[in-house]
Chain A
């Protein structure tokens, strides 16, 4: 044993993270070294290449299962490569590629949707000045940092690593939220709100981690799980710790009652950033939830099952009911994302039997929602996005192609057969029924029925209402946004009609290490 006292690192397992992380730094160097006019193509190419490379690295790691770091042959659980971790990393990179393309869209708004400095006082002279300039390209390294955080979040094997990942994915996002070129004040408000509430959530997390450490004597998830059976410490530590950690994670996942930030942030942030949050952050947040509850807390399932069930019910019903009353398309999608968080929570509560199906749902939902936000970013009144629903009336007459695409996406979100929405709901609900969660499934179904109404309302507006004389125009997307929409719709339909291949993959990749 003596010859292997040093730290051993499985570099292949770490490669996806390293690639994106290094690319993020390289992006910073590009900002410093390359003239402004030439930055955009380099940054986009760098980001896409890094994410694609990370995806390849994830695929090459398939079938791997183990800790990345070990000392003297003893695994250190800080980064764990296993089936769910790899699948979620792969999903995040794929979705991030799509999101990066949307971030790079420059044809809808001259110079892009972003300003360079978030903190300039809104509508001050300096602000007006920076709005005239081409958008900032720092958004790409920022995005890559956030994506690194997300990829680390879903493979973190102890609470400490998870916390670092949580901060790493959150901080760039706070900044990105404040960079919208139009409606600066709302954008800044969104950033501040997200930051303050996110900071609270982080504090909860650290406090919860301390409690769990006090209970289990370790921050390692597998160790905490063992302690759930064997620890002699007062169980109150466990309860408080689980509650605090859950608050932080459910905040990121946008579950009721920790959802308040979602509609405001989704509305205020630049739409491409909203798409990134709705797709990638959701995957990361639920990846973390799945891991914490399956690996770290499955032995204490009796202690948290009831409260998490209550939260899931509140999230499903609350999200659906609030969605009904929305008049702004981004807020509507925000509440729909809250309701979807509720369905995903069913998968978390169902534990081991539903891990694969929850991941399938995440992938299916991610592509649909990213395409939906991409369409939102294309429907414009002059320079601004036409987010008020009334402005969308009669879009089917003026831009039938866009309206068809958006209708498909809405029907997918409503869970109609032949779309990924149905496939995802079917497999998730089936897994939950196998885990004897009939009550939650029925609530999920009722919530889906309520939620179908707002989606249908949008379809009615698109096709059955007369367009206003000054109806918004649909910008012909550049290849960038066009690719985003096409990829999202293609994934929505393929996963609806021929989901067999992905179902097989999640089936094989559904077992966490150490469970």
Chain B
């Protein structure tokens, strides 16, 4: 027990913030913006305190900063929080990306008749729910927030989204996630029934895994499908392009940058330690799905005509890499996958935010509405290219390290799979560069000159909010070690359930 309940504060502060901001009158839009930013800033400060106090040693306890308060004792449902290195990274990503997304959406609502306080309250509520899923150390508590987060996101897409299909996208997102969540609920209940009414994560993990193999397989599937929909993995991905395409760009950055990571995070936190045998049984299938996802989504991305949908498809390809990294069960690939989750949040978050700048100026996300835009928007174009290159994992940017680790780890386990997945790198170059070329280079689209906003390069606010992301992507591209130090103990602990001896071979050693 620590002296300060920091993790409770991480969930409570944005939740309180959501209530406070929601109660601000519609006319006081600026008050709502600044209040919301203040609460998001407070979350970032608390996260920094957690990161400073976190014990990065290899032999540190798996979950740290643990707290527990009884809630519904009949179900063993407690407000139990705890954080490991993987969660720490994702909490930091959430805490960092949320204020940036708020700033990115600062002026988005000026032209539409929508309530600004409600928007920022929803973002804070979403942040609280996402943080709670990373911090929960009780399976049912996790489930509560896993489901509850659908509500703010649903309204953010359906009410504040763009395009004619926003309602369709919001409903599709909600129903897909709810179906996965309900299947998971059956598995959650069955887990509870078969483990003597225990929901506490640490107790469940320490207990012997379920002896009944077929039951374990079914429970694994119940959990996994929910997480695969959330992530999303091919073939559960079809909601993401719609949701990502319809959501406001800043919300899409949170959706793809953070919320989708809950799926892969939960696979590491729940599927592997709770159902180790089933995880091994299904690993080849998941790897197959992941590799198909990498190649398929990349091809589909190339064919997209809408910027936001294109970015959404690139994410599906990237989630294929993450799945591959996790289920290859080597220390390098799993570390790489976790790192990938973090770096992808930075790179895709930035990409979505820059696309948001573009679409707000042009009033369209269609690629054909651009062309030669770099001439009047040199700085914006530069950031766009940078984000694209980071997303295709150019060496020197943070995603490179993670993609390399994943492929390296996978190669030692399964060469053909790694070779096919490596195709994804080439395809990524194709869709990113072609997207850049069609929008920014080439003949200037004459229609652009009729849009005054297309001549206004990045404003101070926009510069200020992309700067931290650019710095982080470059910084962690050259110095990834602090991140690796944070996640390695947790990755080792997790892999310990599926690998006989934790593969703590030094990087670069021959596994054969």
Residue among B74, B145, B150, B189 making CB contact with A433, cutoff 8 Å? B189
B170 touching A500, Cβ below 8 Å: no
Selected A-B contacts with CB under 8 Å, 5 pairs: A438-B186, A456-B154, A456-B174, A464-B159, A500-B73
Binds A, one of B27-35, B175-183, B287-295, B412-420: B175-183
Complex: A430 Cα to B198 Cα, angstroms: 13
B 151-167 binary contact with A (CB < 8 Å = 1; else 0): 10011001100000011
**Interface assignment of A426: CB less than 8 Å from any CB of chain B:** yes
Residues of chain A with a CB closer than 8 A to B147's CB: 416-417, 422
Q: Do the beta carbons of B186 and A445 come within 8 Å of each other?
A: yes
A418 CA to B174 CA, complexed, in Å? 17
Q: Are A426 and B190 in contact (CB under 8 A)?
A: no
Task: Decide: A429 and B167 in contact? CB cutoff 8 A.
Answer: no
* A434 beta carbon closer than 8 Å to chain B: yes
Nearest Cβ in chain B — how far from A300, in angstroms?
27
- Cα distance A416–B158 when bound, in Å? 18
Contact A414 B158 (CB under 8 A): no
A500 contact set on B, CB distance < 8 A: 71-74
Contacts of B56 in A (CB 8 A): none
- Which B residues lie within 8 Å of A422 (CB)? 144, 147
> Which of B145, B155, B166, B192 touches A430 (beta carbons < 8 Å)?
B192
By a CB distance below 8 angstroms, the chain B residues around A438 are 186, 190
CB within 8 Å of A: which of B224-256? none
How far apart are A481's CB and chain B's nearest CB, in angstroms? 25
Q: Could you tell me the distance in whole angstroms from the C-beta of A302 to the nearest C-beta in chain B?
A: 23
CA distance A498 to B75 in the complex (A): 12
- CB-CB < 8 A to B193: which residues of A? 430, 433-434
For residue A425, which residue of chain B has the nearest CB? Answer: B185
Given A460-B171, A500-B73, also A448-B182 (CB < 8 A): yes
Residues of A within 8 A of B470 (CB): none
Q: Which of B72, B155, B179, B186 contacts A441 (CB 8 A)?
A: B186
In the assembled complex, B143 has its CB within 8 A of some CB on chain A = yes
Chain B residues whose CB sits within 8 angstroms of the CB of A507 once the complex forms: 74
Given A430-B189, A452-B175, A500-B73; 19 other pairs, CB 8 A cutoff: A416-B148, A416-B151, A417-B143, A417-B147, A422-B144, A429-B186, A433-B193, A438-B190, A441-B186, A449-B175, A449-B179, A453-B175, A460-B158, A463-B155, A499-B72, A500-B71, A500-B72, A500-B74, A503-B75
Most chain-B CB neighbours within 10 Å: which of A417, A433, A442, A452? A417
Q: Do B189 and A456 touch (CB < 8 A)?
A: no
- A-facing mask of B118-159, CB < 8 A → 1, else 0? 000000000000000000000000011101101100110011
Q: Please state if B74 and A449 are interface contacts (CB–CB under 8 Å).
A: no
Query: From residue A394, how far is it (CB to closest CB) to chain B in Å?
Result: 12
- Whether B185 and A445, one on each chain, are in contact in the complex, defined by CB atoms closer than 8 angstroms, is yes
Q: How far is the CA of A458 from the CA of B153 in the complex (A)?
A: 17
Residue of A nearest to B146 (CB): A417
A residues near B175, Cβ cutoff 8 Å: 449, 452-453, 456
The size of the chain B interface, using a CB distance under 8 A, is: 32
- Indicate whether A411 reaches chain B with its CB closer than 8 angstroms: yes
Give the total number of A-B pairs whose CB atoms are below 8 A apart.
81
A425 to B181, CA, bound (A): 13
- A411, A442, A464, A500 — most chain B CB neighbours (10 Å): A464
Measured CB to CB, the closest approach of chain A to B71, in angstroms, equals: 8
- Look across to chain B and name the residue whose beta carbon is closest to the beta carbon of A416: B147
Contact in complex: B167, A460 (CB < 8 Å): yes
Contact between B178 and A414 (Cβ–Cβ < 8 Å)? yes
**Which 7 A-B pairs rank lowest in CB-CB distance, beginning with the nearest?**
A417-B144, A445-B182, A449-B179, A503-B74, A430-B189, A464-B158, A417-B147
CA distance A418 to B186 in the complex (A): 18
Distance (whole angstroms) from the CB of B242 to the closest CB of chain A: 15
In chain B between 304 and 324, which residues have their CB closer than 8 angstroms to a CB of chain A? none
CB distance from B405 to the nearest CB of A (A): 36
Neighbouring A residues of B144 by C-beta, 8 Å: 417-418, 422
Which chain A residues border B183 with CB–CB below 8 Å? 445
The main secondary structure of chain B at its interface with chain A is helix
Q: Which residue of B lies closest to A411 (CB)?
A: B151
A3 at the interface (CB under 8 A from B): no
**Is A470's CB within 8 Å of the partner chain B?**
no
Q: A416-B148, A449-B179, A500-B74 are in contact. Are A456 and B186 (CB under 8 A)?
A: no
- Please name all residues of chain A whose beta carbon is closer than 8 Å to the beta carbon of B143 when the two chains form the complex: 417
Q: With a CB–CB cut-off of 8 A, which chain B residues contact A449?
A: 175, 178-179, 182
Decide: B151 and A429 in contact? CB cutoff 8 A.
no
Task: State how many angstroms separate the Cβ of B226 from the closest Cβ of chain A.
Answer: 11
- What residue of chain A has the Cβ atom nearest to residue B73's Cβ? A500
Interface residue ranges of B31-47 to A (CB < 8 Å): none
A383 at the interface (CB under 8 A from B): no
CB distance from A331 to the nearest CB of B (A): 20
How many angstroms between the C-alpha atoms of A500 and B77 in the bound complex? 10
- B residues less than 8 Å from A445 (CB atoms): 182-183, 185-186
Is the beta-carbon distance between B170 and A460 smaller than 8 angstroms? Answer: yes
Cβ–Cβ < 8 Å partners of A460 in chain B: 158, 167, 170-171
Which residues A452-511 have CB closer than 8 A to chain B? 452-453, 456-457, 460, 463-465, 498-500, 503-504, 507
Residues of B close to A465: CB separation below 8 A: 167
User: Which residues of B163-216 have CB atoms within 8 Å of chain A's CB atoms?
Assistant: 166-167, 170-171, 174-175, 178-179, 182-183, 185-186, 189-190, 192-193
- Complex Cα distance, B190 from A446, in Å, reads 16
Bound Cα distance from A414 to B74, whole angstroms: 23
- Distance in angstroms from B393 CB to nearest chain A CB is 37
Query: CB distance B182 to A456 under 8 Å?
Result: no
| Residue ID in chain B nearest A397 by CB atoms | B113
A210-228 interface with B by 8 A CB criterion: none
Given the known interface contacts A416-B148, A452-B175, A453-B171, the answer about A463 and B158 at a Cβ–Cβ threshold of 8 Å is yes
Residues of A with C-beta under 8 A to B171: 453, 456-457, 460
Which B residues lie within 8 Å of A430 (CB)? Answer: 189, 192-193
**Interchain CB contact under 8 A, B148 and A463:** no
Task: Return the contact of A503 from the options B72, B159, B192 (Cβ within 8 A).
Answer: B72
Closest to A466 in B: B113
B189 adjacent to A417 (CB under 8 Å) = no
Q: With the chains together, A449 CA to B176 CA distance in Å? A: 9
Residues of A within 8 A of B148 (CB): 416-418
What's the nearest-Cβ distance from chain A to residue B460, in Å?
A: 34
Partner of A426, one of B154, B158, B174, B185: B185
What are the interface flags for B63-84 relative to A under an 8 Å C-beta threshold, 1 for contact and 0 otherwise?
0000000011111000000000
- A282 CB to nearest chain B CB (Å): 23
Point out the residue from B155, B167, B186 that lies within 8 Å of A442, measured CB to CB: B186
- In the bound complex, what is the Cα–Cα distance between A411 and B73 (angstroms)? 24
Bound-complex Cα distance A433 to B191 (A): 10
Q: Could you say which residues of chain B place their CB within 8 Å of the CB of A411?
A: 151
Q: How far is the CB of B122 from chain A (nearest CB, A)?
A: 11
Q: Give the residues in chain A near B159, CB-CB below 8 Å.
A: 463-464
In Å, the complex CA distance between A376 and B227 comes to 37
A442–B218 alpha-carbon span in the complex (Å):
12
Residues on B with C-beta less than 8 A from A499 are 72
Within 189-231 of A, Cβ neighbours of B (below 8 Å) are at: none
Q: How far is the CA of A434 from the CA of B189 in the complex (A)?
A: 9
Interface flags, A104-117, vs B, CB<8A=1, else 0: 00000000000000
B71 contact set on A, CB distance < 8 A = 500
Q: Which residue of A lies closest to B72 (CB)?
A: A500
Q: B154 contacts which chain A residues (CB < 8 A)? A: 456
Residues of A near B185 (CB, < 8 A) are 425-426, 429, 445
B190 near A433 with CB under 8 A, answer yes
Complex-state Cα separation, A6 to B159, whole angstroms: 71
Instruction: Give the distance in Å from the alpha carbon of A417 to the alpha carbon of B72 in the complex.
Output: 13
> Which residues does chain A contribute within 8 Å of B166, judged by CB atoms?
464
Interface residues of A in 237-271 (CB under 8 A from B): none
Q: Nearest chain-A residue to B160 (Cβ)?
A: A464
Considering the chains assembled together, what is the distance between the CA atoms of A293 and B141 in angstroms? 35
Question: Do A464 and B72 form a contact, CB below 8 Å, given A448-B182, A456-B175?
Answer: no
> Closest chain B residue to A453 by CB distance?
B175
CB distance from B181 to the nearest CB of A (A): 9
